[in-house]
Amino acid sequence: MRFDFRDVPTVIADEDSTARQALQGYLKSMGFRSLEHVETADALGNRLAKSEVALLIGGATMADGQVLEMIRKIRRNEIAGQPFMPVVALVDEPEAVLVRSVIDSGVDLIFTQPLSQSSIEQGLKALIMRRRPFVVTYDYVGPDRRRDQREAEDLISLVEVPNALRRWAAGFSDDPPSKKILTTINQMRAQRQANQVLYLADLVIAHYSGGPKIDRVKSRLAELRAACIETKTLATPTKYRNQATLCDLADSAAAKIEAAVGDGQNPDVSDLVQLAAQIQVAFEINSASDTPVDA
């Protein structure tokens, strides 16, 4: 299949002018003509807010890694209003910690230096025709990178997302509706975050009810309260909006436990027990539907 990259709105975000110029040369040889570049996080944010970008290629270490945090926010639809934008990261040295951070940000592809014409062409063509579906957890939205099919089936649902690069380069118009997909993802995020509330609540309840003791119980209480607030925020614009009140109540219950612990008393966790059970039912959580991450 032939692709027409001529009008694909593409942004290169990189401080390294040498690497940027080399990349631009490779892209131009593929037919890209609508190329823009930015060198700061602020400039990138301003450009993304202006109009659609069908392909973003960003240096992983640009602005001391701020670009990775921007990508996370893009995927969570907190900035730019383009959560499904195809994103490629440029990595100078494939160090394990950096690569892990890049993957966790939600990028589609990683290009490592030195770049080559063939690797760029193969990567972008794969992104057009075989883009990975998105996966949603309590702290990640982005391409699913699990390689084992059984593992993928055993965990959480995948979401096919719109592909602006394919639409511009191949003329395909069969993308799923962005608004509908975004609503689905927001509901999944609310559910995953509610599951994190249950995970933390179970740890706290067990600690004060004769069960397994946990380290940093005060930190866990703070994490629980933060998770309650985040769940309420995520739930409010979704079908779970009426259940958001339960998150307020769970936050209040955790605050009472915090206060009792601060006063040197043995806290009463009965309210939290009841609220956790209600949250599990209200958010339709199956205990096997998502595995919380022990941060």
- Provide the percentage of residues in the chain whose pLDDT is more than 90: 72
Instruction: Answer with the residue of higher pLDDT: 35 or 242.
Output: 35
117 and 205 belong to one structural domain: no
Domain edge (last residue) among 172, 191, 222:
172
**Pair (16, 123) in one structural domain:** yes
Please check whether residues 166 and 214 belong to one and the same domain.
Answer: no
The pLDDT of residue 286 is: 62
- Helices 217-235 and 244-262 meet at what angle, rounded to 10? 160
pLDDT at 294 over 60: no
Report the mean per-residue pLDDT for the chain. 90
pLDDT per residue as tens digits for the range 191-247: 999 999 999 999 999 999 999 999 999 999 999 999 999 999 999 888 998 888 999
Tens of pLDDT, residue by residue over 263-279, are 999 999 999 999 999 99
Token pair belonging to 265: 């008393």
Beta bridge partners of 59: 90
Name the DSSP letter for residue 215: S
* Cβ pair 141, 75 in contact under 8 A: yes
Same domain, 48 and 166: yes
Domain identity same for 107 and 217: no
Asked whether residue 250 is domain-assigned, the answer is yes
Q: Which domain holds residue 222?
A: 180-282
pLDDT in tens, 72-113: 999 999 988 899 999 999 999 889 999 999 999 999 999 998
- Is 289 part of a structural domain of the chain? no
Residues 275 and 249 in one domain: yes
Question: Of the ranges 53-57, 63-67, 175-179, which one carries the lowest mean pLDDT score?
Answer: 175-179
- As a dihedral over the C-alpha atoms of residue 150, residue 152, residue 156, residue 159, rounded to 10 degrees, the angle is -140
Q: Are the C-beta atoms of 13 and 67 separated by less than 8 Å? A: yes
pTM of this prediction?
0.82
The mean pLDDT value for 158-180 works out to 86
HEC profile for 40-73? CHHHHHHHHHHCCCCEEEEECCHHHHHHHHHHHH
Q: Which residues lie closer than 8 Å to 102 by C-beta, 6 or more apart? A: 60, 68, 89, 91, 110
Provide the domain count of the chain.
2
What's the order of all strands across the beta sheet hosting 55-59?
35-38, 10-13, 55-59, 87-91, 109-112
3-state secondary structure 75-144: HCCCCCCCCCCCEEEEECCCCHHHHHHHHHHCCCEEEECCCCHHHHHHHHHHHHHCCCCEEECCCCEEEC
Helix axes 66-75, 96-105, angle to 10 degrees: 30
Confidence band for 174, pLDDT divided at 50, 70 and 90: low
**Helix or strand holding residue 11 (H, E):** strand 10-13
Model confidence at 285, in pLDDT bands (50, 70, 90)?
confident
198 lies in the same domain as 119:
no
**Percent of the chain beyond pLDDT 70?**
92
Which pLDDT score, from 0 to 100, does residue 53 have?
A: 97
Residues 42 and 166 in one domain: yes
Largest CA distance in the chain: 71
**CATH number of residue 190's parent domain:** 1.20.120
What are the tens digits of pLDDT across the range 121-157?
A: 999 999 999 999 999 988 899 999 876 444 444 456 7
Residue 179: what pLDDT?
A: 83
CATH code of 25's domain? 3.40.50.2300
Q: Among 140, 172, 204, which residue terminates a domain? A: 172
Task: Say which residue, 227 or 183, is predicted with more confidence.
Answer: 227
Residues 168 and 215 in one domain: no
